[in-house]
Chains A and B, each alone.
Chain A
Amino acid sequence: MNPAYSVLFFTCLSGAGYGMLAVLGAGVLFDALPADFVFGVVSMGTCLGLITSGLLCSTLHLHHPERAWRAFSQWRSSWLSREGVAAVATFIPAAVLALGWIFPAAVSATFWKLGALASVLGAFATVLCTAMIYASLKPVGQWRITLASIPLVPFTYFGFALAGGMVWAQLLLSAFEKPHALHMPPLTCAALALAWAVKLLYWRQIDAQTNVHDLLDATGLKENWQNIRAFDSPHTEQNYLQKEMGYRVARKHRDFLRRAAWRGGGVLPIVLLLAGAWAGGLAASVCALLAAALFMLGTLIERWLFFAEAVHTSSLYYDDKK
């Protein structure tokens, strides 16, 4: 599948944003975060900034963004519509969460906690919907991959959202030199390890996938024929289908990119965070910043591969073995 930049940035940015919202919400819920004005403004600002910029990127993918509001209507059947609804609805508890932080007088403690809880749930629901847009597409075998009949795509999206949220929260806590920052690194490292572990599992499973379709399945000719090849193209130039579904560049650099992604976006940030926690002070902030940047870069490569490695059944008809 064609890894469109709009969709890459959308899933990476708003994924990390919703992860961060969940982390902040959970932090407030368990009184684990400072109820501090500046911290609240900056952390909620970062979180909502990530979410909003991601959502704006996603509208760049549309040919008719002026009609985007219509996409809230079909939540009964469409995961994309559900995602839109969940994404917008989550802004309400997120606003309550932000308000409680910034103007503690405006919201009662209970209401603030309710907002925090609803933020966690809303973030979870939105990421689930994003993942299901892909995981529900039958023509793309890789996205329906399972391990012991558990679909892996939703869990990779959860994993990366959570790890992204933790990495960003870690960055802000250490930047504000909050004592809470000291307890975070082991948890953040665990989230990072978990995300990349699920991804490595996903890669292992799609490489070993056996129930893939071939051109004989696609043409319904398997019963009587063993070999088939296209001897002519149905049209002279590439069409929409080939540009959109027939993306093949990933094959060549796959192994290198995978290694770069999990080592650069997983192992290195873990090492940096642990080193920062050990050194403390300014070094901790610098390390947290580097870790966040590297993780986002790794996620971008991971997401690029997620699309580029996925093969759509419609590309079978073109029998393009290049």
Chain B
Amino acid sequence: MTSLPKRSKNAKKLGLVIDLDTCVGCHACVVSCKEWNTGGYPAPLSDAQPYGREPSGAFLNRVHSYETANETSQRTVYFPKSCLHCENAQCVTVCPTGASYKRAEDGIVLVDEDLCIGCGLCAWACPYGAREMDPVVGVMKKCTLCIDRIYNENIPPAERRPACVNACPAGARHFGDLGDPESSASKLAAQRPAQEPLGDLDYRPTNKYLAPRKPKSVTSAKPLEPVNRDGGGGFIGWVDAMLSKLNPPA
């Protein structure tokens, strides 16, 4: 059923908390996501012409790179984007076949690939661009929150987290129950909440972003003194200084 489930009071709301201050844009989460999901549930995450002229393929996670500025400062912000497992997920309600659904027990939004007709309407209904059509299988693909990892009793408990969270070298990605205000993910999200992306569309994403901290104003920093000459100290340094006078570096 593509109507959204009624959420009972204590039901889990699993999701990610992504720290935009910590993310260094390494794309490790993108690669590990692709790696896990192309081998796992339920069909490969295909590529079209992977070694051809125009390689393209379905990915469930993409990292965007931005420069932002205000009057006093500027910085880079990397913006990893995958399905936010919205509470008011219109991608689910528009689906004509019942292939898209939101789980009542943990809020994860999934696609049943055996029901999907590949009409693409759910991707049109997702404001975040979190769904991509599989170019080979012809069904819609999206982040499953690694449903085949997080409940998987065949892997060590510490690894029962989404692949992207395990892979992140910067510790920018956190996984947890955002329905429970006492969970570490909820507490983290409460510390430095970012504005909800496209909040006025009222999709109510479960995933949270942590706002990038404002860097201190850079205008007050003094330029650094050179600490060393190329040749170091001593005789070689003296030779370098003399030669540099005769043949000044461009």
**Contacting residues of chain A (63-108) with chain B, CB-CB under 8 angstroms:** 63-65, 67-68, 70-74, 76-81, 84
Which A residues are CB-close (under 8 A) to B133?
63, 240, 244
Which B residues are CB-close (under 8 A) to A313?
127-129, 198, 201
Which B residues are CB-close (under 8 A) to A199?
none
A119–B62 Cα gap in the complex (Å)?
A: 48
A47–B129 Cα gap in the complex (Å)?
A: 38
- Expressed in whole angstroms, the minimum distance between the Cβ of A129 and any Cβ of chain B is 11
A72–B95 Cα gap in the complex (Å)?
A: 11
Question: When each residue 89-110 of chain B gets 1 if its CB lies under 8 Å from chain A and 0 otherwise, what string results?
Answer: 0101111111100000000000
Whether B94 and A244, one on each chain, are in contact in the complex, defined by CB atoms closer than 8 angstroms, is no
- Expressed in whole angstroms, the minimum distance between the Cβ of A59 and any Cβ of chain B is 9
- By beta carbon, the residue of chain A nearest B56 is A237
**Contacting residues of chain A (166-222) with chain B, CB-CB under 8 angstroms:** 213, 215, 217-222
Whether A217 and B135, one on each chain, are in contact in the complex, defined by CB atoms closer than 8 angstroms, is no
Name the segment of A23-31, A34-42, A133-141, A287-295 touching the other chain. Answer: A133-141
Whether A220 and B117, one on each chain, are in contact in the complex, defined by CB atoms closer than 8 angstroms, is no
Whether B194 and A231, one on each chain, are in contact in the complex, defined by CB atoms closer than 8 angstroms, is no
Q: Does B10 contact A (CB under 8 A)?
A: no
- By beta carbon, the residue of chain B nearest A66 is B117
Which A residues are CB-close (under 8 A) to B153?
none
Name the segment of B66-74, B160-168, B216-224, B225-233 touching the other chain. Answer: B66-74
Which B residues are CB-close (under 8 A) to A227?
67-70
Partner of B138, one of A64, A78, A238: A64
Whether B81 and A74, one on each chain, are in contact in the complex, defined by CB atoms closer than 8 angstroms, is no
Known: A139-B124, A245-B124. A226 touches B96 (CB 8 A): no
Whether A78 and B94, one on each chain, are in contact in the complex, defined by CB atoms closer than 8 angstroms, is yes
Interface centre among B195, B197, B203 (most CB of A within 10 A): B197
Whether A140 and B124, one on each chain, are in contact in the complex, defined by CB atoms closer than 8 angstroms, is yes
Which A residues are CB-close (under 8 A) to B92?
77
Whether A235 and B138, one on each chain, are in contact in the complex, defined by CB atoms closer than 8 angstroms, is no
Give the secondary structure class of B's interface. Answer: loop
Which B residues are CB-close (under 8 A) to A226?
69-71
A219–B64 Cα gap in the complex (Å)?
A: 10
Whether A137 and B125, one on each chain, are in contact in the complex, defined by CB atoms closer than 8 angstroms, is yes
How many residues of A are counted as interface, with CB atoms below 8 angstroms from the partner's CB atoms? 62
Name the segment of B37-45, B176-184, B207-215, B238-246 touching the other chain. Answer: B207-215
Q: Does B26 contact A (CB under 8 A)?
A: no
- Expressed in whole angstroms, the minimum distance between the Cβ of B77 and any Cβ of chain A is 7
Partner of A64, one of B3, B118, B195: B118
Whether B129 and A314, one on each chain, are in contact in the complex, defined by CB atoms closer than 8 angstroms, is yes
- By beta carbon, the residue of chain A nearest B53 is A237
Whether B68 and A221, one on each chain, are in contact in the complex, defined by CB atoms closer than 8 angstroms, is yes
Whether A225 and B69, one on each chain, are in contact in the complex, defined by CB atoms closer than 8 angstroms, is yes
Whether A221 and B97, one on each chain, are in contact in the complex, defined by CB atoms closer than 8 angstroms, is no
Whether B126 and A314, one on each chain, are in contact in the complex, defined by CB atoms closer than 8 angstroms, is yes
**Contacting residues of chain A (244-275) with chain B, CB-CB under 8 angstroms:** 244-245
Interface residues of A (CB under 8 A from B): 1, 61-65, 67-68, 70-74, 76-81, 84, 133, 136-140, 213, 215, 217-241, 244-245, 312-315, 317-319
Could you list some 25 contacts between A and B, CB below 8 A? A64-B138, A71-B117, A73-B96, A73-B97, A74-B96, A74-B97, A76-B2, A81-B97, A139-B198, A139-B201, A140-B124, A215-B66, A219-B197, A220-B195, A221-B77, A224-B214, A229-B67, A230-B66, A234-B65, A237-B54, A237-B55, A240-B132, A241-B129, A313-B201, A317-B129
Interface residues of B (CB under 8 A from A): 1-4, 30, 54-59, 62-71, 76-77, 79, 81, 90, 92-99, 115-121, 123-129, 132-133, 135, 138-139, 194-203, 209, 211-212, 214
